[in-house]
Structure 1
Amino acid sequence: MSRRSDELALLASAKPRLHIHEDAALNAEPPVEQLDSLLTPIASFFIRNNGVLPEPADPESWRLTIDGEVERPAEWTLAGLRQRFETVTIPAVLECAGNGRGQFSPATDGLPWGLGAVGCARWTGVRLADVLEPSAPKPGAVYTGHHSPDRSAANPDKDAISRGLPIGKALAPETLIAFGMNDGPLPHLHGGPLRIVAPGYPGSAWQKWLSRISLRTQEHDGEKMRGTDYRLPVRSIAPGEPLDPADFAVITDMPVKSLITRPLSGFAVTSGEPLRVAGFAWSGATPVASVAVSADDGLSWREAELEAGEGPFAWRPFSVELKGLGPGPVTLIARATDISGRSQPLAMPWNPRGYCNNVVQRVTGQIIP
């Protein structure tokens, strides 16, 4: 079989209900109903790739190199990482920066993701800061550069992606080199045997199949780190306006967001019966403070009960019971707000690359007389 056929067969076996996007790389997302749990099952977790999947690796032979702006370059085996450093587990949301891009009008470049390029998992590994410490980063190190063996689908001599983290985030206690997911080994489709986990940052920063970390004296300039890739404009840019990379900055924080998982679009409820609305809310660096739900297109709001979730970087369940809805069509909206007061916008916040869409979700249904 061809490499593409192998990838599709692997995906069909591991994740049979995901929608596969038409792209040279393997990219797929679940329907919303598969995201209705505190921890997203691996079989329901989205897949995002920028190139061809590398061949599955033997974890015993995998090596992670630490080099660049360090006093003592190092090479670690998976067993060495486990033996030398404390193992920690952090529940965290992983979301593609392009999640929801398919809603943008006018359309933008990039995969037209629906709402399923997100999931919440329990990630297990060692702290990146702990692994860097024995190599003694030099004072001039301001960024990490991450490297892996996946190659461009168009050019096998080119990296598929090579991104990095500001040194402050690299040394933050929540940033991991992970080898586990949902209490099991990290699957090959999700970057096994090693990947970066950078809670609050877009999925592009969570480098999969991690084989090398090079400390840099400047912002990393690897593949998909330049131009307008995974960057937001620092000023308003109108559709069709020429793009200047100087007007864009790397995405380092995901916006506050919510997802209604019950009921689903197309629902029907008999008039007089209570309607329970439930889902999840999450954010990047700034925690979620509240979620409000509307059944009249934002004219009035009901505060939802917001539960704790699995941890500070995990999504939080919300629910509310709506009563007294009259017969006819109804549109449900959930709107999350973070502790700084930022709320999801009611109208689409367009940008030329289609990143960080956190417009409120609308779920339509009927109240039957």
Structure 2
Amino acid sequence: MPRRLIELPLLRRLKPGLYVHDEEALNAEPAIGLLDTPITPVDAFFIRNNGALPEIAAPEAWTLTLNGEVERPTTWTLPELQQEFETVTVTAVLECAGNGRVQFSPVTDGLQWRLGAVGCARWTGVRLKDLLAHAGLLPRAVYTAHYSPDRSIKDETKDALSRGLPIAKAMSDETLVAFAMNDEPLPRLHGGPLRIVAPGFPGSAWQKWLDRITIRSCEHDGEKMRGTDYRMPVVPMRPGEAIDEGLFAVLTDMPVKSLVTAPLESFTVAAGTPFAVRGFAWSGAVAIAAMELSSDGGKTWCDVALEPAEGAFAWRRFQTMLTIAVAGPVTIMARARDVEGRVQPLEAPWNPRGYCNNQVHRVAGMVH
């Protein structure tokens, strides 16, 4: 029996509202209506896997090894990590780089995510930089390499995923080795007992089931770190153009983005009657500055206030009341802007892997 079919009952029991993609690996996302809270509940959080879920022994028996370009290679158990290092919590958006891939035309390679491969959670763990300080980075240290026991479905001798972080990101205060999510032990479906938390970076960099970190003297070249995997072209590309892998760079930032969580697609409202519009705006390393809505096809835009975020990497709530006087079809459009002036485009630039789609979110409805 395919491994995915074995894992499905677990997902159905723990996350009954998620849409499961027809893929060999277990991947699922919530409907947008389930993302209407500042902190996304675990049972509504999307699931992304590149391979089969590993079998996990008792969490207290789990170990994390740190080796490579360090003075003192070390192995810790989970209780030792919790006892020896300061515990911190970071609220941050986690988003798959392929979120919204289904909107690209022509169709690109990869899992055809809708818009639900994103969520905002409280992540608790220890700072990766504290582990690196304990081990003593050597001057040659350039990149981290992350390893876990999940295996490729097609070849069980290969890693399903092995990505890493530039040392500067690994040494940032927000980067964690996490053991809890929303104040509960990190669930197996979300990488428990240990995972990387790298706010602002795509979800692929948040390695799940972490059991080894190797410090390298070069950019990591593990599974899904090469070719066009989780890489973006550094020059514009058109469909059908030959792919030069030398013109692709590792994704280390996520673009400015927003999502309308109410009303939902195919909504109906009465003409002249105010109705609520709300949602969230977020970005990667650069803070959100402003939010705008349009209900006339983008001819005019109105500013909408953003509520304070729970942290620098959390998403920000926006909400307002709209009134549309004329009956007929209507489309609400939402776009965010960051502090460096980058704005969501009407259509995202095409790329061959369908990454980083941050086009304006549109919600169609009817005024009667």
For the aligned pair, the TM-score class normalised by the smaller chain equals over 0.9
1:18 aligns with 2:28: no
Q: Which amino acid aligns with 1:228?
A: T
Whether the 8 Å contact between 1:64 and 1:210 is mirrored in structure 2 is yes
Q: Does the 8 Å contact 1:57/1:193 carry over to 2?
A: no
Aligned to 1:211: 211
Question: Which range moved further: 3-12 or 87-96?
Answer: 3-12
Per the TM alignment, residue 324 of structure 1 is displaced from its structure 2 partner at its CA by 4.2
User: In structure 2, what is the equivalent of residue 193 of structure 1?
Assistant: 193
For 2:312, the equivalent position in structure 1 comes to: 312
Identity %: 63
Give TM-score scaled by structure 2 length: 0.99
- Please give the residue correspondences for 1:1-369 in structure 2 after superposition, counting only pairs within 5 Å: 3-368=3-368
CA RMSD in angstroms comes to 0.9
1:1-37 Cα distance to aligned partner (Å, 9 max, x none): 7633321011011101111111111000000000000
Contact kept, 8 Å, 2:89 with 2:122, in 1: the verdict is yes
* Distance in structure 1 (CA, Å) of the matches to 2:295 and 2:306: 18
The change in CA–CA distance for 1:319 and 1:136 in structure 2 (over 3 A counts) is same
Q: Hey, what's the Cα distance between the residues in 1 that align with 2:38 and 2:209?
A: 26
Deviation for aligned residue 1:348: 2.9
2:250 & 2:159 partners in 1: Cα distance?
A: 19
* 1:264, distance to aligned residue in structure 2 (A): 0.4
Output the CA distance in 2 between the equivalents of 1:291 and 1:161. Answer: 35
Letter in 2 for 1:60: E
The secondary structure found in structure 2 opposite 1:4 is helix
Give deviations 1:238-262, integer Å, cap 9, x for gaps. 1111111101000000000000000
Which residue identity is paired with 1:148?
S
Q: Counterpart of 1:306 in 2: which secondary structure?
A: coil
Contact 1:293 1:320 in 2 (8 A): no
- Alignment deviations for residues 220-254 of structure 1 (CA, whole Å, 9 cap, x no partner): 00000000100000011111111111010000000
Question: Equivalents in 2 of 1:325, 1:301: separation in Å?
Answer: 17
Instruction: Please say if residues 286 and 338 of structure 1, whose CA atoms lie closer than 8 Å, have aligned partners that are also in contact.
Output: yes
Distance, in Å, in 2 between the alignment partners of 1:331 and 1:273 is 16
**Aligned partner of 1:360: which letter?**
V
Gaps of 5+ in 1: none
Are the counterparts in 1 of residues 271 and 323 from structure 2 also a CA contact under 8 Å?
Answer: no
Q: TM-score scaled by structure 1? A: 0.98
Contact 1:92 1:314 in 2 (8 A): yes
Give distance in 1, aligned partners of 2:25 and 2:3. 11
- The Cα offsets for residues 97-133 of structure 1, whole Å up to 9 and x where unpaired, read as 0000000000000000000000000000000000111
Distance 2:127 2:135 in 1: 14
**Amino acid aligned to 1:32:** I
Distance 1:340 1:325 in 2: 36
Q: 2: CA distance between counterparts of 1:101 and 1:54?
A: 27
- In the alignment, the residues of structure 2 paired with residue 360 and residue 2 of structure 1 have an alpha-carbon distance, to the nearest angstrom, of 38
Q: Distance in 2 between matches of 1:2 and 1:245?
A: 33
Measured after TM superposition, the shift of residue 217 of structure 1 is 0.4
CA contact (8 A) 2:90 2:124 kept: yes
Partner SS state of residue 348, structure 1: coil
Q: Is the 8 A contact 1:95 1:118 kept in 2?
A: yes
Note if contact 1:303-1:320 (Cα within 8 Å) is conserved in structure 2. no
Give runs of ≥4 in structure 1 deviating > 3 Å: none
* Segment of structure 1 superposing worse, 135-144 or 304-313: 304-313
Q: Is the 8 A contact 2:324 2:367 kept in 1?
A: no
**C-alpha deviation, 1:309, in angstroms:** 2.2
Secondary structure class of the residue paired with 2:246: helix
Corresponding letter in the other structure for 1:259: L
After TM superposition, give the deviation of residue 321 of structure 1 in Å: 1.5
Please say which of residues 315-324 and 73-82 is displaced more in the overlay: 315-324
SS across alignment from 1:342:
coil
Letter in structure 2 aligned against 1:103? Q
- Secondary structure of residue in 2 paired with 1:11: helix
SS at match of 2:120: strand
